[in-house]
Every structure is written in C-alpha cells, then in structure tokens.
Structure 1
Amino acid sequence: MALFGTNPAKAIAHYEAEGYDLGFLSRVAPQGGIKFPDRNIRMGDGYVAMLYITDFPETIHDNWLTRVINRDGIIGMVDVKTMDRNAVLKNVKRSVAEQSSRIQEDNTSAISRNEAINKYQSLNEVAEDINRYGEVTKAVQVRLYISKPTEVELEREVALIRKDLDAMGFRAYNMLFESSDHYKALFLTPKKQEKQLKVKRIGQQMPARTLGGGYYFDHAQLTDPTGAYFGQTLTGGPVIFDIFHSDKIRKSFNAIVFGTMGMGKSTLLKMIAEEQFAKGNYIRGFDKSGEFYDMIMEQGGQYLALDGSDGKLNMFEVYATATMSAKDLTPSQVGSFQQQIAKLTMQFSLLNPELKEDDKNNLRIWFTNFYIDWGLWNPEIDEENDILGLDSNEYPILSDFRDYLKGLPLGKSASRELKRTKEKVLTLIEDLITSNGRMFNGHTSINHIEEEQVVFFNIDGLVNLSENVSSCQLYTALNLFWSQALANGRKMNRKYYNQEITVDEIERFLILIDECQNVINGNNPRLVEYITTFQREMRKFFAGIVFATQSPQEILPDGNDSQVISKLKQIFELTQYKFLLRLDQSVNEKMKNTLGDIIKESEYDLIPQLSQGQVLLSIQGANNLVFNTRPTKQQLERFKGGI
C-alpha cells in the first residue's frame, strides 16, 4: 500500500494516466508479497537465492558461459559493461609493476615467482592487445537466481550448484545483506545498478573475445514489439509474434501453415486469430470442419454456411469496392457499381464456363439496366447515386433478375445469338433457383456485414456441389472479403495520413483459410489468379491472408500442367511467413520443389521429426527458427481440441 500512499484512488488514477497497466502488473507481481531478509529472498510461494560469481578460472574453455548459466530451474543474469580504455591500461600497468616486483624479490619462492611470471606475461599480452589491436575490455557480472518451495530444498540446490561451479574453477557466493539489491538487479541496466544499488560491484574484467567465446550464439527468439506470446524456441527464447509487424525486411502480411493432422495446425491458427481479435482487428475466414464455430460465437462473431443451409450471400448486393481517386479515399458510387457489374459477370461465367464474350457483353448490359429498372442506379447523376451501404433487404435478389429478364422484350430485330444468350442465361438462373435456391436466391443474412469484427464461412457443404457452383460461391465470398478489406484499408490510410490515429491504432484486416486446398487448387485457376492479386495488393491496405493445409501435395497434386502449377506456386512465394509443423517424410521432395532453398537441407530433414506443437517458422528474408507453441490452458479449453 506504500506504493499508493494514503489516497489509493488518486494514486491509481495517476499511474493509469502515466500509461501503466495496473491489471497486468498485479498479475505478474509476486503473489503473496515479498521480503528481503539477510540471506534468501522470501516470497508468498517459496524462496529465492542469488549466487554471485566472484572468481573466474585463469584458463577457460570455449562456450564456458553456457555451462555456467544454462541450468534447469534457474534464471541466469549476465550484465556487461564496456570499460574505459585508459582506465584499463592504467590498472594493467600498475599490475604489471606489482608482478615485476614479486619476480625480482629475493625472498620470493620458486612457485610464487613462476605465478608472478605467468601473470606478468598475461598482463603484457592484454596491454599489447589493447594498444595494437584495439581490444575492448568488458566488466562482466554473472548472477544465478534459484527458487524452491522450501528453504531446505533451496539450500540443497544452492550447494549442488556451488559444487559444480567450484569444479569448473568458478567461485560463487550467496551475498549476505544484498538480497534486495540483487532482486532489483534483474530489472536494471549496469549503469542504473551503479546508481541505485547500495553495494556497487564492478564485475570480472575480461577481453571482449573471452566473453564472446563464452556462448554458442545459437540463441533464437522473436520479439515483435506489438506481438503476442506464441511459445518458446529450443534455446528458451520467447516467440512474441505479430503477423502485421512491419520493418525493413518484413513488408507483407501473408502466411501459410503446413502440418499433418493432430500436429497443432488449427491451434496455431486460432492463436493467431485470438491475438488479432484482442487488438480489435477485423477477422474473416473459411472453416471446413466447423471447429472454429465455438471460438467465433464466444467472440460475438457471425458464422454462415456457404451452401445456404444456414444463411445466404446475395450476389446482387453492392459494396464499396472503389474510391474516388488514389488520394480521395471516399467510396465511389460509380466505381463500385462498375465493379459490381464486373463481379456479377464473372460469377455467371464461373457458373457457366461456356458463356462467350458476346454473352458476357449482353449480361453486363442487362445487369446495368436491371439496377436502373429497380431504381437503384441512374447513369445521369453518377456520384449522386446512393447504391452503397443500404440495408440488405433493399437490394434485389436472383429471382428479381429472372423476372426482369423474362419480361425484357428483345424486339423483332434481335439476332438469333441474342435470343440464344437470353435463353441460356434464363435456363442457368432457373436451374440455380430450383436446385440451389437456398444458396443463391435471397438477401444476405447478415445486415451490414462489413461492420462485423469477426465473420467466418463454413465451406464444408460446397464439397458435394458441382465445381461451377462451389467456385462461384467461393468467388462471391472472397470478393466480399476483398471489398471489406479495401474499404477498411482506405479508411485507415485516410485517418493515419491525416494524423487522426497512430500506427498502433490502425485496425488491420486478416483472412484465414483453413483446409485451403478446397479453395486454391488446380481446378480453380481463376480463383487462384484472383487470390494472388489479392496477396499482392493487401499490404497497402493493412490486410493479410493466412492459408492452412496438410501439405503442398494437397494443393499441387501430380499431373497438373506446368502453367497451373506455376500459378499455384506464386501463392507460396507471396507468403512472408511459412509455418511448418510435422510433415510425412514422403512429401519432403514436394516441399523442396515448392519452397526451394529458403529452407536448409538440415531443416527439411528436421520437419518429419517435429513433435506435436513444434513449428519451424520461416520468415522471408530473415532467419528461420524452431519453437514450441505454448497455448494457455484456458486457450485449449476454448479451442476444444488442439495440442
């Protein structure tokens, strides 16, 4: 309570205004309090001892520091300070003079004289290295923090560690009356320690090369400033990851996840989704198995089946997909309407790939006149139209277009081809309404869907439908996501460049496609091309896309022609992040052909040996790392399965 004084409410308000997260501090603070007696630190859940290394051996081996600090159940703290060159030389000269005197003294024993000679030579070498080669001297302090539930267990562990250090030539002590100082040292730089700690310690002085040789330098970690905790590397480093982190190397926000069943692929996806949800970012996704449903419901999101069994998407609803110009990001009525006509034409051509270019031209005319007839579009007033952002039930549906087309007179002079086109389109529409009316004929089930933070579409029911129907429905959904990502990105760009928000306040847009082989494959070249365009452009609009599948074999089956395979490989090439969980040895060659030399040969060999929850993360342009995912117990309960 001393922290808050006599007026806790005022103190709390003060610290919150300063930017402190008091809730977070209360969770990470020592539970049950903390006391600093003469020797061991006492906490509410046990005891902590601190061993300070005071003496180092004369001769040390490569990677000596690793053997000292890499111990189970302890925290190793190494503080390093660069010493002043002139001060070091002055001390070395004084020490050289002392050793010279010892050597010349008549009453010095042979053993002492030999020791003095060795030190004299060693000090001269140090002085020469500093003067001739610019060697830098470091002051190193090594502390080992050991914790146990009881003081008896703690003293036993301390004795074992001291014995082991003694055998290596180190001397370590539990300093009396300094427990408070050493606890504070965990959080202070060497410079601040000199100012704030009661006992000032210089540390062991050594050449920088000696310190550098003390560690393997194999430590791996990822610490994005705005990331969330995903796990721990094999060397104990944290993996704090943000898919939207941007720096000189990481410029795009696309990822792909490979992993066989049960290896933690879906859990990793859900961890990514939860992190983005917690930041207030928009999330859209495709779910094949329904395992995302509970998480989406808990987040207050919307979940809709694309086969029409639980909701609909109206292809005739018009979204803001274009702006007035590159600088004026106001939604364009004309541009958005033109893109809507192009989208409808694409959807009908997906439903009937046999439509010719003349058929498509007539379709565009009929679609435009249909919106005019419906009262939603007036070509004479351009941007004065008001076709965007209406309630879902204000837009026409497929049966309305059928009725319009049926009643549309072609005139006696109409060509046979035009009449055939009309018959062809009407036949297509009648078939859609009769066979798949619950999917295509109706208003969008979610009103103002663009305002929802989380929206997922279940694609399981599409598997049993014709390829043309499923391709059209997937295109409709992807186009919807793309339009929403564009609208959000343009809004964020305007606010950011007008200095209305900071970079940390930008609302991002993430799309997750689980079991992505059902969306991107050799049978859907148009969708593949659409998605690669999507990947290239999304970066500009603070948006990214994450694919997940069991292996490249699912997307790149044998037998596809080279042109299709080339397009599919572009999807992999346009991903900044590749998360590789365990894969069968049999797909290793396919992985090599797909990913090339961004993965080392030794890492390819490692992939089939990864255990459940282990991930090899390849970041384009940066080093690869292997880590163990660490979802919390609460996350696994929410995910209902997982690792």
Structure 2
Amino acid sequence: MFFFKKFFKKKKQPVDSQQTTDRQSVQSVSKIDKIGKGKSQTSRGLIKSNKLFMAWNKNAEEKKQRQKSGLVADSYLKQISPKKGFTFHSDYFEVGDGVAQILTIVPTKNADRQLPPFWVTRMLPRGLGQNVTARLIQPISTKTEKWTKDNEVKADAAVRQAYGERKVNDPSNQDIAFQVQDMHQINEDLRGGQYHGSEYKILLKAPDVETLDSAREQYKLRLKNNFRGLTVEVFEGQQKDDFENLLKSADAQIGHEKKMYTSQELAGGYYLMSKGIDDITGKYVGVSEGDFNNPAMLMDVDDWSRNIVVASKFGPRTGSYSTEVFGDHLRSISLWGVKIAEDAMIQNHRVVHFILNNTDIEDIGKRKIGADLSKHTSNINMGKGAINPFEAFGREEDKLNVYPTLTEKLRLMFKEMSPSLNDVDLNKYFTQLLKEFMEDKGLWKPNAKENIDTISLVGLPHNEYPLLSDFSLYLSTIFTIYQKQGNQQAIKSLEKIQGVVDRMKEENGDIFDKHTSSVVDNAQTIPQVIYDFASISERGRGIAMAQFINTLGYATQNLHRGDVVIIHGVDQLAPEVKEFVKDNLQKLTRRDVRIAYLYDNVMSAINDKDFNDLTSADYTLFSAMSSDELEAYKETMKATIPSALENSLISKDDLLYYLSRDREKVLFKLDLIL
C-alpha cells in the first residue's frame, strides 16, 4: 500500500469570460422600428412587419417567462445558499456565518502496512464538538492496465536494485525488506485486480476559528491512535484550489502525492452501512441516527396490512416545528396519528379516530401546520351523547350475532358505571331483564334462531329504538313483581341495577338517554371521523369507558378493506373492557380493517402486548426509552440489540424514534412533514 507514487502539477484554470448581452432582441426591435417608419409600404410589407412584430412579441414573452422562472429558482437558491460568499484565507475559508477547512489525510513512509477489515471506519470524522460538521470525501481514479504494468516493472526494478545495494547493519534494510514483501503482495493482489489512486479529504466546518482548530487537532489525535503513520494536514495557500477540486477525481487533485491501492486493499476499506429506510413510495419523516451513514428516512407510513403500535412519552416536536407551534393539547403520538390518517386517506381509505387522551388533532389543521382536511372530516363530541346505548348496530344477516354483542356491551357499560355489580347481578338478572325488555319492545323474540326472519333488530329508524328511560320504567315494574314474590336475591340485584340506571339517567342523561343523532349518520361515509371523548373524560373514567364501549360498534360498522381505526391513548382503556374491545377489533381485522394503537407511554405498550398484538405488528414506532423500558422491550420482542444502539436508545431525546419493521431496525430523528 502507498508504494507506487505519482505526482500531479497544478493545472491552470481558464479565465472566466464576461457574459455578453443578448443582442437578438435588440436587433429584432431595430428591424421592426425601421419597417414601422417606412412611408410607402406595400401590403406585403405590412404583413411582413406584422409577422416580425408577432415573432418579437412571442420571443419577449418567452424571455419574460424564463426570467420569471429564473427568479423562482433564484429565490430558492437564496434560501439554501450561504448568506455571505466565500472568503479564502491561507489555511481556512469563511462560509456563511461559520468557517471551514479542507484537510488532507497524509501517510508517512511504510504507514499502515497491515490494514484491518473495514479500516475506513476508523477515519470517519465523528464527535468533534458541538456545531461542528465534517464530511469524509474520497475521490478514486482507476489506473489503466498499461499504466499498472509499466509502473509494476519500474517498481520491481527499483526494489531489486535497492535490495542488491543494501549494506550490512544499515537501518534502511528493514524498509527494503518491507518493500520486497509489498511487491510480492501487490503482485498477488493484481491477479484479477486493478490499481487505484485515491485521496482522503475532510471538509470541516465550525462556528469560529478556535472551534475549527480544536476539531482538527482532535481528529489528528484520533488518526494517530487508530493508525500508524497517518496524519492530517492543511496545505497553506491552497484552500481555494482544494475547494474547487474537491469533488473531482483523484487524478484532478492538485499538488499532492496520490495514495495507491490494489483492488483488495481498497475493498477492505469499505464498511457495512445501513441505508436507513428508502421506500419507493415513501415520504420524508426524519433523518437516520446512530450510524456512519445518516440518510433521510423516506418511509411509506401506509405500507401495513393489519396492525401497528406507536408509543411515546414526549410532547409534540419535530425537527421543523417546536412544541410551542403545536400547543399543549397534542402529544408526539398525535402527530403520528395525523400522518397515518393522511397517508391512508390519500389511498382512498376511510379513517376513524377514537380520542381517549384529551388530544385535539383537528387543531393541527386550524393552525395551518398540515393539510386542511376540515371539509373531509367530521368531529363528533361524545360528551353530547350522539349514540343510543339500546340501539343495535350491524348487518341484517348478522342479527343472531348482533344481539349478544349488544348484551355484552350493556353489561360492560353498567359494570363501568358501578364496579360493585357482580357476575350474578349482570349475567343472571340484568341479562334476563334486558332480554325480556327487548322482547317487550318487539326487537327480539323467544327461540330467536327459529324466528330469525321475523326479528327486526338492526336498520330501524333511530327513534324506533327504546331509551334508557324506557328501560328504567320497565325495571320498576319488574322490581315490584319481585318484591311481591319476596325473592331477596333478585330484589338485591335489581336494587343495584336500578341505582346504576338512575345515575345514568339523572346525572348523565344527556349522554345515555338520547336517540342516536343524525350527526353520526353523516359520519358513516365521510373520509375521516373523529370521536372525541375529551370532555366526557372529565366526568370520570367509568363514564368515558361506558361511552367508548357504546360507540365502538356503531363507529366502525361501515369500514371496509384497508380502512383504518386509530385509537389515541390506548393507555386509558380500563382493563375490564379490553376483552370486549379486542373482540370487536378482531372482527374488524377479519374484514381487513387496519388498527393503529397509539400509546402515551412506552411501557404501557409493551405490557399491553396481548391486547395490541405487539409481537406480530406490521411495524412498531417507539420513542427513546429508559433502561427498564428497553429491557422489557428486548424480552417481549425477543430482540438482540447491539450495545451501541442500546446506548443511543436509552435517552431523553424527544425527537428520537426506533422503527422496527420486519428485519429493518432503524433509529432516526423525527421530522414529520404534515
């Protein structure tokens, strides 16, 4: 390595010529002007003049459009270009509000004869200080076969001559021995290989000269520790030349000795590098983190078929927007919920949101941060009722399954309203009471299976279903009957049930004692529906859970393949309702409806693995974790995570996310564009 040498002299750069003015338009105007001043033009001359004028006018209009386009391009370039031009000094240059320097990695004689695998990774400039950026640039030029053979012959002759002229006890004998070994190795490598010239340049940028010098010295020390005989130099007075030739081939680099490699040596310098996520249909969601390569994350958020799990304990912030921009009413997972919904709607799928964690995703559109989807969205405040608990929802052909679902829903609602109700109260007395009540109202019949064609349970007008107040009257009648019979167990159970009904009717009648609103009817076809439980949560968790259970079936009955249900704040679900919710969600999954579980806490998502099917999710997105959360994650997912990645994941960085999708595992900084 580094044995063959070739020197290149500085090339003269052509002097830029001044731009000339566009004379074509001037000449055209002059001709038209002369024609226009003629006193005795023929009709043919007038036609010719008119044509010339039209041609000139067209050219002028095209030029105007080009100038306008140029202004647009120029305005964009102004946004990304440095505020100030480049000012070159002897060993650095000013750019924008900072300073920069081009460094060249220089080997000494016989440096790095034994190169380890992936040796270039040791050259990568990382961690050189706050606000310091560094890029390793490696131009390569491959030599022709003739050049290689000619220089191989010359080098072989030079080595033989040096070997023959060596003297006893001469200190240079060791160098000659190294050269002989190198020649044998090079001859071996060149069988089927080639020879390459290369340079290693470092583009270093810092806020000020002191920081720049400190970063350079840190990097120089790192090279010294990682390699024998390598250092980094700044060539005085040549920064401008180095900058102009930075991206050219190695042969075009000015004034330096090229470092030469065989194909095997150069290949040994390549390092395994992840490419992040670059889905063909992906959109920008952030920048990869924790690797040698940190490319943009281009992720197709809608590329999933069954369920996904997203969890974060942090507030809303991205690389482009601060928390103040989003406000206090959002969470980081709220942003993902909006993104998941937007991408699903773009693919012509419907989306249903259940907001359990007091977030306000519609406000993102109001703040004009993301797309304004208000015309395609129905926001239903569940604190105002909207759905009658005694109305059955489902398809006509599923009536036999709809009734048990309705019964289970009401049992759970009553249980949430009064945890003191036991299994006897609910499964025996309440279930029997409800069956008789529905039969009395003509919605159900004894021996339902034999009378299925005569049952009208689903699809009726909303006002034909009984209300909670009707059930209360029926309950009073039955209670009187049991009192006369002296059935103490029945009386005791019915008293507790009556207490729940009275509480629901008197304290929360505006929610539970109303016919289903036409507002939710309109929501059955609109692309996006938001069922907001924020205001009802203030009345108590039990009431919120009862209303959520009451809403779930109706809200999802018209969803089809590819449509999406997003539950914001799954952490808020009471343990006792999860079995019912999971059964309903599994029915949706069998219809190829997709479920997104969004958690405000990483540990909650991990502990909820049986409910959210975490281990079989299409993908998971978790924010930075604590050490306990990471250990729980590894145990649950049966995951082996490299120690370097573990160290990065255990963090309080609110922008950090870890994506696990099939075999792809990527750490990245969040920068969602909504």
Q: How does the TM-score come out when normalised to structure 2?
A: 0.58
Local SS of the residue matching 1:611 = coil
Cα 1:368–1:607, aligned 2, differ >3 Å: closer, same or farther? farther
Cα 1:553–1:145, aligned 2, differ >3 Å: closer, same or farther? closer
1:269 aligns with 2:343: no
Residue pairs, 1:16-415, within 5 angstroms: 25-26=76-77, 29-32=80-83, 34-35=85-86, 42-53=94-105, 55=107, 58-60=110-112, 62=116, 64-71=119-126, 72=128, 73-79=132-138, 83=142, 86=145, 90=149, 93-103=152-162, 106=165, 115-131=175-191, 140-149=198-207, 156=213, 160=217, 164=221, 168-174=229-235, 175-178=238-241, 181-182=244-245, 185=247, 193=248, 204-207=259-262, 210-211=265-266, 214=269, 217=272, 221-224=276-279, 226-230=282-286, 232-235=288-291, 237-238=294-295, 240=297, 242=299, 244=301, 246=303, 254-257=308-311, 259=313, 267-276=331-340, 281=346, 284-292=352-360, 294-295=363-364, 297-298=366-367, 300=374, 303-306=379-382, 308-309=383-384, 312-313=386-387, 338=397, 346-352=405-411, 354=427, 396-397=462-463
Q: CA deviation at 1:582?
A: 2.6
Cα 1:30–1:483, aligned 2, differ >3 Å: closer, same or farther? farther
Equivalent residue pairs, number: 527
Does the Cα contact within 8 Å between 1:260 and 1:581 map onto a contact in 2? no
Consecutive unaligned residues in structure 1, runs of 5 or more: 186-192, 320-334, 370-378, 380-386, 388-393, 407-422, 491-508, 557-564, 636-643
Superposed CA deviations along residues 5-44 of structure 1, whole A, max 9, x for unmatched, are 997863488799xxxx969954862143644869766544
Local SS of the residue matching 1:206 = strand
Cα 1:431–1:204, aligned 2, differ >3 Å: closer, same or farther? same
**d(CA) in 1 for partners of 2:109 and 2:442?**
85
Local SS of the residue matching 2:510 = helix
Structure 2 residue aligned with 1:622: 663
Q: CA deviation at 1:528?
A: 1.4
Cα 1:486–1:15, aligned 2, differ >3 Å: closer, same or farther? farther
Q: CA deviation at 1:47?
A: 3.8
What is the one-letter code of the residue matched to 2:260? Q
Local SS of the residue matching 2:81 = coil
Consecutive unaligned residues in structure 2, runs of 5 or more: 1-18, 23-59, 324-329, 412-425, 445-452, 454-458, 473-493
Superposed CA deviations along residues 571-600 of structure 1, whole A, max 9, x for unmatched, are 553352151543473x7776566x141354
Does the Cα contact within 8 Å between 1:259 and 1:580 map onto a contact in 2? yes
Does the Cα contact within 8 Å between 2:197 and 2:251 map onto a contact in 1? no
Q: CA deviation at 1:76?
A: 1.5
Cα 1:100–1:456, aligned 2, differ >3 Å: closer, same or farther? same
Q: CA deviation at 1:254?
A: 0.9
Larger Rg, first or second structure (1 or 2): 2
**d(CA) in 2 for partners of 1:470 and 1:551?**
23
Cα 1:170–1:600, aligned 2, differ >3 Å: closer, same or farther? closer
Q: 1:568 aligns with which of 596, 601, 611?
A: 611
Cα 1:245–1:296, aligned 2, differ >3 Å: closer, same or farther? closer
Cα root mean square deviation, aligned:
5.9
Cα 1:590–1:75, aligned 2, differ >3 Å: closer, same or farther? closer
**d(CA) in 1 for partners of 2:595 and 2:78?**
32
**d(CA) in 1 for partners of 2:108 and 2:402?**
73
Q: CA deviation at 1:457?
A: 1.9
**d(CA) in 2 for partners of 1:85 and 1:358?**
94
Cα 1:143–1:303, aligned 2, differ >3 Å: closer, same or farther? farther
**d(CA) in 1 for partners of 2:597 and 2:86?**
48
What is the one-letter code of the residue matched to 1:69? L
**d(CA) in 1 for partners of 2:111 and 2:307?**
49
Structure 2 residue aligned with 1:473: 547
> Identity of paired residues, percent?
10
Q: CA deviation at 1:70?
A: 1.8
Does the Cα contact within 8 Å between 2:284 and 2:298 map onto a contact in 1? yes
Q: CA deviation at 1:141?
A: 3.8
Q: 2:532 aligns with which of 454, 457, 462?
A: 457
Cα 1:598–1:544, aligned 2, differ >3 Å: closer, same or farther? same
1:511 aligns with 2:571: no
Local SS of the residue matching 1:178 = helix
Does the Cα contact within 8 Å between 2:288 and 2:296 map onto a contact in 1? yes
Does the Cα contact within 8 Å between 2:198 and 2:260 map onto a contact in 1? yes
Q: CA deviation at 1:486?
A: 2.3
Does the Cα contact within 8 Å between 1:576 and 1:620 map onto a contact in 2? yes
Local SS of the residue matching 2:638 = helix
**d(CA) in 2 for partners of 1:105 and 1:138?**
29
Local SS of the residue matching 1:120 = helix
Q: 1:548 aligns with which of 589, 594, 599?
A: 599
Cα 1:555–1:129, aligned 2, differ >3 Å: closer, same or farther? closer
Cα 1:455–1:209, aligned 2, differ >3 Å: closer, same or farther? farther
Does the Cα contact within 8 Å between 1:287 and 1:457 map onto a contact in 2? yes
**d(CA) in 2 for partners of 1:155 and 1:569?**
50
Does the Cα contact within 8 Å between 2:351 and 2:565 map onto a contact in 1? yes
Q: CA deviation at 1:530?
A: 2.5
Cα 1:519–1:338, aligned 2, differ >3 Å: closer, same or farther? farther
**d(CA) in 1 for partners of 2:400 and 2:68?**
55
Structure 2 residue aligned with 1:330: none
**d(CA) in 2 for partners of 1:68 and 1:357?**
77
Structure 1 residue aligned with 2:620: 577
Cα 1:182–1:114, aligned 2, differ >3 Å: closer, same or farther? same
Does the Cα contact within 8 Å between 2:309 and 2:605 map onto a contact in 1? no
Cα 1:520–1:222, aligned 2, differ >3 Å: closer, same or farther? farther
Q: How does the TM-score come out when normalised to structure 1?
A: 0.61
Q: CA deviation at 1:158?
A: 8.2
What is the one-letter code of the residue matched to 1:30? S
